[in-house]
Amino acid sequence: MMRLLLTALVTSVFGFTFFSTAVLGDTVSNKEQGKTNSEKHNARDNQPSKEIKETVGNFLKLATNDAWLTEQGREKLGNLMGSEYGPTNMYLVVVVLISGYHIGEIISTEKTAEVAVAYEEIGRLDEDFYKFKERKRKSVVKFILAKNDQGIWRITSFGYDSPHIHWSNAVKHLEKLYHSAPDPQYRKIAQQIIATTKQPGKN
């Protein structure tokens, strides 16, 4: 099967994405009050920073919509990544459809960070959006970040090679494909995806 290089396929449209992050409190216990200044400083440095959460959160908002499918969208994703890691040349081999995601544990040092992102997968589409395979499962992907010379956090790698897109955006794209080249298979796949999301407990 030919591998199709991502080009401008659709207009960026927001779908329904869901995410949440843990909020860290500033409460100091009696035990913590007895720590040295150095220990307190190191503890603060190891807490997830607002900048790390925002970088990963902004990436996920774009990526789970349809940013992977447009030149403009990939440029925006690239702005959140190190220059050598930009997604411009990423190939669309398989598209993973999701119903939501959650930003989980964040482990950070002064210069690096690792962020766990949990996805609710519902299935996969092939590169031509012409075949859908239901595959409901939870998956966890590790995002690796580094602070650049300007002190800005950038994503340097993440643990998948297939775009993760919300199912509603896939349905919209299938409808666009149908209107550009009327093939009943596109609408059939769209109906399969919608039916999958309507199963109890799987939305």
Q: How many domains does the chain have?
A: 1
Nearest 10 degrees: Cα torsion 72, 74, 80, 84: -120
Nearest 10 degrees: Cα torsion 67, 140, 174, 92: 60
Supply the DSSP string of 125-138, one letter for each residue.
EETTS--EEEEEEE
Looking at residue 92, what is its pLDDT? 61
Helices (H), 15-133: 30-33, 37-45, 50-63, 71-79
203 is a domain residue = no
202 is a domain residue = no
122 is a domain residue = yes
108 is a domain residue = yes
* CA–CA separation, 59 and 56 (whole Å): 5
> Phi/psi of residue 90, each to 5°?
-70, 135
CATH number at residue 143: 3.10.450.540
193 is a domain residue = yes
Residue 20, pLDDT above cutoff 50: no
> Phi/psi of residue 94, each to 5°?
-135, 140
Other residues' Cβ atoms within 10 Å of the Cβ of residue 199? 11
Q: What is the pLDDT of residues 131-161, one digit of tens each?
A: 999 999 999 999 999 999 998 999 998 888 7
Per-residue pLDDT, averaged over 93-119, amounts to 93
Residue 67, pLDDT above cutoff 90: no
121 is a domain residue = yes
* CA–CA separation, 30 and 97 (whole Å): 47
Residue 70, domain extent: 4-197
Q: What is the mean pLDDT of the chain?
A: 76
Closest among 94, 66, 80 to 166, alpha carbons compared: 66
Q: Is 174 within 8 Å of 190 (Cβ atoms)?
A: yes
